[in-house]
């Protein structure tokens, strides 16, 4: 009997080693490519770097994520096509830009919908966010989670936007999204949809007068060099979808999928915190660089909302009024 205990211990140790070897064998050496429009220093990039670090750590160094920032691999919509074709693995983009793939994604871009980032978190992390992602696999995409970009504000080189009429005639770049085009055309601007990497040069060459984006993007992209005014319209809050190519996802083992998903879950929480802390710093920097920032009054915001009511009604019907009701319930 005295020899039995060491033998049993040895057998258990051998079984554990065998299981460990089997588990590690389910994780292969691979490099995944991630595309995004903002720099590595932007909160979007910091979230991507955190995700890459976590994936490498959890995979024992076997899986690496290579991040291509600042639109190096092209604009958002070509990148979505690359994901569907399996020539790109991962990307992060404004959730509403997926409206061309799944029309219901327009629900997260409805103007003046969210008052706080926490309201948007409730929708993105709740049943609405899941329902939107559930529609992606049949389109060749997998939804992993939501980062944030933040509240969008209007910049331009002509004048402060203090009232609705100040938007009249401004040549504004907007996202390549029908909803954004309809909203700003209705508000009186002349919209030009273009990929974000082209914006700085277009402003510099006076092809456009301005654009709209969160403070962190305005600061990170050094638009203070070519723009004078920022007006806090806070018209749309952008959750950002982190999505993966279904072709890439289907090549992963169950263990690798768990590594990817759990890493994104952690990176998502980190990224949102970084983004919210960065907004105040971005505002301070823009002021330091000479940009004039003006608050738009609640009365003028109410006028803008009333002006675009037909657009809100149109898109509410397109995405399904039941889904809009569900969004409002989650906000409440």
Give the number of residues written for the chain: 332
For the segment 279-289, the average pLDDT, to the nearest whole number, is 96
pLDDT at 291 over 80: yes
pLDDT at 105 over 90: yes
Q: Please tell me the predicted confidence (pLDDT) of residue 17.
A: 47
Residues 6+ apart with CB under 8 A from 217: 38, 42, 149
Report the alpha-carbon distance of residue 106 to residue 95 in Å, rounded. Answer: 8
Scan for tokens 């690359």, then name that residue.
82
Q: Please tell me the predicted confidence (pLDDT) of residue 119.
A: 94
Pick 182 or 14 by higher pLDDT: 182
Give SS3 for 231.
strand
pLDDT at 16 over 80: no
pLDDT at 310 over 70: yes
| pTM, entire model | 0.86
CB 69 within 8 A of CB 31: no
pLDDT tens-digit readout, 42-101: 999 999 999 999 999 999 999 999 999 999 999 999 999 999 999 999 999 999 899 999
Region of 70 please: left (phi>0), alpha (psi -120 to 50) or beta: left
The proportion of the chain whose per-residue pLDDT surpasses 90, expressed as a percent, equals 90
CB 38 within 8 A of CB 70: yes
pLDDT at 271 over 60: yes
CB 84 within 8 A of CB 29: no
- Helices marked H in the chain: 4-25, 43-58, 76-85, 117-124, 127-134, 178-186, 199-204, 215-220, 246-250, 254-288, 298-307, 309-319, 321-331
Q: Please tell me the predicted confidence (pLDDT) of residue 277.
A: 95
Class of the domain covering 29-331: alpha beta
**Please, what is the Cα angle at 271 between 95 and 220, to 5 degrees?**
80
For the segment 225-233, the average pLDDT, to the nearest whole number, is 98
Q: Please tell me the predicted confidence (pLDDT) of residue 4.
A: 53
Pick 285 or 8 by higher pLDDT: 285
Report the alpha-carbon distance of residue 139 to residue 261 in Å, rounded. Answer: 19
Q: Write out the two tokens for 277.
A: 């802390």
Report the alpha-carbon distance of residue 126 to residue 201 in Å, rounded. Answer: 39
CB 197 within 8 A of CB 37: yes
Pick 15 or 111 by higher pLDDT: 111
CA 21 vs CA 16, 52, 76, 178: distances in Å? 8, 24, 40, 52
Q: Write out the two tokens for 241.
A: 């979808």
Sketch the domain layout of the chain as residue ranges.
29-331
Beta bridge partners of 237: 151
DSSP 158: S
pLDDT tens-digit readout, 116-174: 999 999 999 999 999 999 999 999 999 999 999 999 999 999 999 999 999 999 999 99
């Amino acid at each position: 009997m005295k020899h039995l205990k060491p033998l049993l211990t040895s057998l258990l140790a051998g079984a554990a080693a065998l299981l460990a070897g089997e588990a590690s064998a389910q994780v292969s050496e691979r490099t995944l490519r991630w595309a995004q429009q903002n720099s590595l220093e932007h909160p979007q990039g910091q979230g991507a770097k955190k995700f890459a670090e976590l994936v490498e750590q959890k995979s024992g160094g076997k899986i690496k994520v290579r991040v291509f920032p600042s639109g190096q691999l092209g604009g958002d919509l070509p990148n979505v096509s690359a994901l569907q074709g399996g020539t790109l693995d991962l990307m992060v983009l404004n959730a509403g830009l997926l409206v061309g793939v799944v029309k219901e994604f327009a629900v997260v871009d409805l103007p003046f919908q969210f008052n706080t980032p926490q309201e948007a978190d409730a929708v993105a992390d709740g049943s609405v966010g899941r329902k939107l992602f559930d529609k992606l696999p049949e389109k060749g995409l997998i939804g992993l989670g939501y980062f944030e970009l933040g509240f969008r504000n209007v910049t331009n080189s002509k004048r402060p936007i203090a009232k609705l009429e100040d938007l009249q005639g401004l040549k504004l770049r907007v996202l390549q999204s029908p909803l954004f085009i309809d909203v700003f055309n209705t508000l009186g601007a002349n919209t030009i949809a273009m990929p974000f990497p082209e914006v700085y040069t277009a402003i510099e060459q006076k092809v456009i007068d301005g654009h709209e984006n969160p403070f962190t993007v305005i600061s990170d992209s050094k638009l203070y060099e070519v723009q004078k005014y920022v007006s806090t319209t806070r018209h749309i809050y952008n959750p950002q979808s982190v999505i993966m190519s279904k072709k890439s996802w289907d090549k992963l083992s169950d263990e690798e999928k768990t590594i990817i998903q759990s890493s994104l879950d952690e990176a998502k929480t980190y990224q949102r915190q970084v983004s919210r802390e960065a907004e105040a710093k971005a505002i301070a920097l823009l002021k330091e660089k000479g940009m004039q920032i003006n608050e738009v009054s609640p009365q003028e915001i109410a006028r803008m909302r009333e002006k675009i009511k037909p657009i809100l009604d149109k898109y509410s019907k397109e995405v399904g009024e039941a889904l809009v009701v569900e969004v409002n319930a989650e906000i409440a």
